[in-house]
Amino acid sequence: MNAETIHQGQIEAAIQAVGVANRPVCLHSSLRSFGYVVDGASAVIDAFLAVGCTLLTPTFSWVFAMPPPVEKRIAQNGWDYDNYLGPTGGIGRIFSPDTKEIDKDMGAIAAAVLNQPDAMRGNHPICSFAAVGPLAARFIQGQHGDNVYAPLDALADMAGMVVLAGVSLDKMTLIHLAEKQAGRNLFRRFANDANGNLAAVEVGGCSDGFEKLADPLLTLRRT
């Protein structure tokens, strides 16, 4: 898939070649890494759907995050409250799963998934996931502020796959779920709930060290 011009059929063939067809997939991606794709992000999405996949992507929206008041400053929360007030973009704003707002660094494919007419988005104001395809509701229905990784739990329950397309393990959100299952308490960040009340919601934290898992995970890798 490093050819100068890529067509949807080539992407479909690659998906089938690595054994991902007809399975639910969580995709972390860089569209630019494909080369020039005819029809862009839509071609990538259509390729997964054409071979029977349901496609899940992170659709984070940190623009809705806001600083906590002093009385809600949680201890051991990966936050130096004395030196960083916190993001202010979410002040006066309320997230809805119907919004199409998404952080730019989620990439073009995630943004395109979110804008599909039949896409479903989780009810988490900062770290939502969106899905499209026949199993989308099963991915999304359990996600809320106190269960950020419900879509990834569902992916595991359905024997799904994670696809890293042009990105590395530091983008693999599933590892945060593994941390939680190993007993780590997830960090909390703050955003308004549906009623406009400030809520502390689960988030994953830093993933810079995930590349150290490359060797232990090698036996699970398909290319």
For residues 122 and 97, is the Cβ–Cβ distance under 8 A?
yes
* 17 or 174: which leads in pLDDT: 17
pLDDT of residue 171: 85
Q: What is the pLDDT of residues 80-134, one digit of tens each?
A: 998 888 888 999 999 999 999 999 999 999 999 999 999 999 999 999 999 999 9
pLDDT of 2 > 50? The answer is no
pLDDT of residue 178: 86
* Rounded Cα gap, residues 47 and 8, in angstroms: 6
Residue with tokens 């890293």: 164
The mean predicted confidence, pLDDT, of the chain is 92
For residues 76 and 205, is the Cβ–Cβ distance under 8 A?
no
Q: What is the pLDDT of residues 30-67, one digit of tens each?
A: 999 999 999 999 999 999 999 999 999 999 999 999 99
Cβ contacts of residue 194 below 8 Å, gap of 6+? 94, 95, 96, 123
DSSP assignment of the chain: --SSEE-HHHHHHHHHHTT-TTS-EEEEE-GGGG-EETTHHHHHHHHHHHTT--EEEE---GGGB-PPPGGG--SSSS--TTT-----TTTT----TT-----GGG-HHHHHHHTSTT-EE-S-SSS-EEEESTTHHHHHTT-BTTBTTHHHHHHHHTT-EEEEES--GGG-THHHHHHHHTTPPPEEEEEE-TTS-EEEEEE----GGGGGGTTTTGGG---
Reported as half-sphere exposure (CB side, CA atoms, 13 A), residue 68 has a value of 17
Number of Cβ within 10 Å of residue 117's Cβ equals 5
Please give the structure tokens belonging to residue 41. Answer: 């992000």
The distance of Cα 212 from the centroid of its chain, to the nearest Å, equals: 21
How would you list the strands of the sheet with 161-165, edge to edge? 120-121, 129-132, 55-58, 25-29, 161-165
Any bridge partners for residue 162, and if so which? 26
Please give the structure tokens belonging to residue 11. Answer: 């992407």
pTM of the predicted model as reported, rounded to 2 decimal places? 0.90
Please give the structure tokens belonging to residue 182. Answer: 């190993």
